[in-house]
Amino acid sequence: MQGWSGLIEQRLAALPCSVALEWPGGRAGTANADVRLKLNESRWLGALARGQIGALADAYVQGQVDIEGGMREVMAVAAELVGDPVQAGTPPALSRWWGQIRSVLRHSKRRDAEQIQFHYDVSDDFYALWLDPRRVYSCAYFREDGMTLAQAQEAKLDHICRKLRLEPGQRFLDIGAGWGGLLLWAAEHYGVEAVGITLSKNQHAHVNRLIQEKGLGGRVQMHLMDYRDLPEDRPFDRIASVGMFEHVGRANMVAYFDKIRRLLRPGGLVMNHGITAGGLYNRQLGGGMGDFIEKYIFPGGELMHVSKVAETLSAGGLELLDVENLRPHYARTLWAWSDGLERQLDAARAVTNERTVRAYRLYLAGCAMSFERGWISLYQLLGSRPTGREADGTMRGAQSDFPFNREYMYR
């Protein structure tokens, strides 16, 4: 124990915020510290000394560790302890092989449905406490200084619709439509015939209530369905997948994009918006943080570097047209969610339980910090299903509805 204590004192002295640490039979750090940790068992000293943040987070959820202090200060400490996962080298061949096998095994239709419901069906009331009024659960777009979260989420919805060049009468598919933010925005503001799918029973029921309340039953449909089961007999003009492909699995990515290609009419456009790994080789966050998220938040979630996403998109038969990095926007979005939850802790405990609240406190703030530091990222990839006919499109050789300019960004 004495050896751990000396190492702990050295680690605490090098941290960006003052930390007070207490464990059975000992204490370290400064009084009135920014961050205060109480370890109910001495065995957690080793995890702290080794930077095993995931193990400490697990212990916090289980009530074996208590944390006090602002979440930004807590995460500043965690970031220094865990180190930068982007600097990880190429994983061994055996590790890559096992990762591929594991990805295949964990993404059957049944398991995907269970994993989605584990996360999204926690409690609609819980998510409503810290999301915007539309319950848009993906990266916002802070197009202008001073935007509220709600305004930035509406800006994101419109940004996607403009990128897709939505027009009245088009058939639009939203894969993983969540609580219906984009689906309903596209129908109400762009006049499209919209179809959404989800694996979450709560989201499915919520969106169908909104469809009826808004009188959109003739133009908007929401189905409880796996994307692999979508019929291909009537192609869509436009497809969006927002915050969904992280659940697909690396082993299924080419088949996922190939399915989108078959669902899309020739010349049609698709927007894939999702989280990617910050480095080429870090498939999850370091220090066990990825394992913690897998256990408590997103079972089955898998990240790829954007270069691999572009590769699988192309292998699926789509042409990549435009790529935009919104990483700092997601950091700001997550801090807004984190702050919202921190303001509603008692209400959150009333609609869920203490374990869930503890897990989401660390998840939201930890992800915000990870996006800020570039450990994970967020990309919008715009693609098309080429027609194969040289003269199609807005300019010769375009082979799609894309005008090959970014005027939608500057209007």
**What one-character-per-residue DSSP string does 17-33 give?**
S-EEEEETTEEEE-TT-
DSSP summary character for residue 246: G
Q: Annotated catalytic, 161? A: no
Q: How far is CA 151 from CA 109, 141, 162, 213, 272, in A?
A: 35, 9, 16, 23, 22
User: Which residue, among 321, 193, 304, 328, has the nearest Cα to 256 in the 3D structure?
Assistant: 304
Closest CA to 221 of 262, 272, 187, 271: 187
Out of 17, 139, 161, 367, the active site residue is 367
User: Which one-letter amino acid corresponds to residue 407?
Assistant: E
Report the Cα 363 to chain-centroid distance in Å: 11
Q: Residue 277, SS3?
A: strand
What H or E segment, with its residue span, contains residue 74?
helix 71-82
Give alpha helix (H) positions in 136-180: 149-163
> Which helix (H) or strand (E) segment is 66 a member of?
strand 65-68
Q: CA-CA distance, 139 to 155, in Å (whole number)?
A: 11
At residue 10, what are phi and psi to the nearest 5 degrees?
Answer: -65, -45
**Catalytic residue positions, numbered:** 367
